[in-house]
Amino acid sequence: MRYCPVLATGPEERLAAIVDFTLNLGPGRLQTSTLRRRVNQQDWTAAGQELRRWVYGGGKVLPGLLARREAEISLLDTKV
């Protein structure tokens, strides 16, 4: 919540999506990311697009990361 204070008042699912991302990649990645800006702007569509950029390992798309990001995106799409 430190980097994305708007999550404090929104649906828990959105908080869960960003917590999952942060646990996977670390808070430093979130802190400096465009994803953080999109979340704080409450632009959930753009935030989902940003999440789709974080699916690479060793220069290749990893199916497990792709599935994880899609799950996070579905949480972000929660309607208020």
Q: Are strands 60-61 and 56-57 parallel, antiparallel or unpaired?
A: antiparallel
- The pLDDT of 52-78, averaged and rounded, is 96
Residue-level pLDDT at 1: 76
Task: Locate 5 and state its tokens.
Answer: 């204070």
pLDDT in tens, 29-56: 999 999 999 999 999 999 999 999 999 9
**Which residues have CB under 8 Å from 13's CB, separation 6+?**
75, 76, 78
Task: Quickly state the pLDDT bin for 22 (edges 50, 70, 90).
Answer: very high
Q: Which CATH architecture has domain 5-76?
A: Orthogonal Bundle (1.10)
This prediction has a pTM of 0.91
